Structure 1
Amino acid sequence: MNLYALIGRMRILSDDEVVHAAERAGRLIIETYLAPNTSFVDLPGFLEEMDPLREFGEACRREVQAIPPH
């Protein structure tokens, strides 16, 4: 529930790109949590291909960079 509350706040303060990236990250986290366990042997490859916050972080960086300096 905390995740949904944070995304709700983002809808007020952030642009659409950040909100959509946050929603996708949230879905990926939940899907990963509900998926079958990964074996230790498969873990290195799994970690390389999954970075649930990468797209969100990049969207946030673009939003901050778009803010004009004072």
Structure 2
Amino acid sequence: MAALFGASIAGLTSVVTQRTQAKAQWIAHDRIRRQDLYKEFIEEASHCYVHALQHDEPDLAALVGLFAKISRMRVQSSTEVANEADQVGRRIVDAYQAPEKTFLQLREMLADGSIDVLGRFSDVCRAEFDSLRAQQF
């Protein structure tokens, strides 16, 4: 009876350990996938924003790529991250309607912080990663 009980406990422990390891691997893989997506979004949004500040005609191909990444975030990310990414996209589109910026104006925007359209997005992403890290342990 003791041997049967011991074997049952060992088997149950093995199943729980495997399930825990599988969950940890899935969370780690998901985190890497999100990091890659956010990195690509930040790079593409930066390029689109600079273009919008210097031109009044939008780069439609780049904007489509940007909004495709936002759609991927709606599937893979938290609601907060997806909503903030959408706000970034809207700010970029709105920037095309503003007059083109000179280098002096860009310097002023840099000095007063108004050039940073990705700051809040980065903060929300960091909070999401902190939450994922807490789930992993």
With the length of structure 1 as denominator, give the TM-score of the two structures: 0.85
- 43-52 or 22-31, larger mean C-alpha shift: 43-52
Aligned match of 1:27: 90
Name the counterpart of 1:52: 117
In structure 2, the partner of 1:7 is: 70
- Residue 136 of structure 2 is aligned to residue 69 of structure 1: yes
Which of the two has greater helix per residue? Answer: 2
Root-mean-square deviation (CA, aligned residues, Å) is: 1.4
Supply the distance in 1 between the matched residues of 2:103 and 2:69 (Cα, whole angstroms). Answer: 32
- Contiguous gaps of at least 5 residues in structure 2: 1-63
Greater radius of gyration (CA): 2
Report the more deviating stretch, 26-35 or 13-22.
Answer: 26-35
Residue 43 (str. 1) matches residue 106 (str. 2): yes
Tell me: higher relative CO, structure 1 or 2? Use CA pairs within 8 A at least 6 residues apart: 1
Does the 8 Å CA contact 2:88/2:118 hold for their aligned counterparts? yes
The alignment covers a number of residue pairs equal to 70
Identity of aligned residues (%): 36
Partners of 2:83 and 2:95 in 1: how far apart? 18
The whole-number CA distance in structure 2 between the counterparts of 1:40 and 1:8 is 33
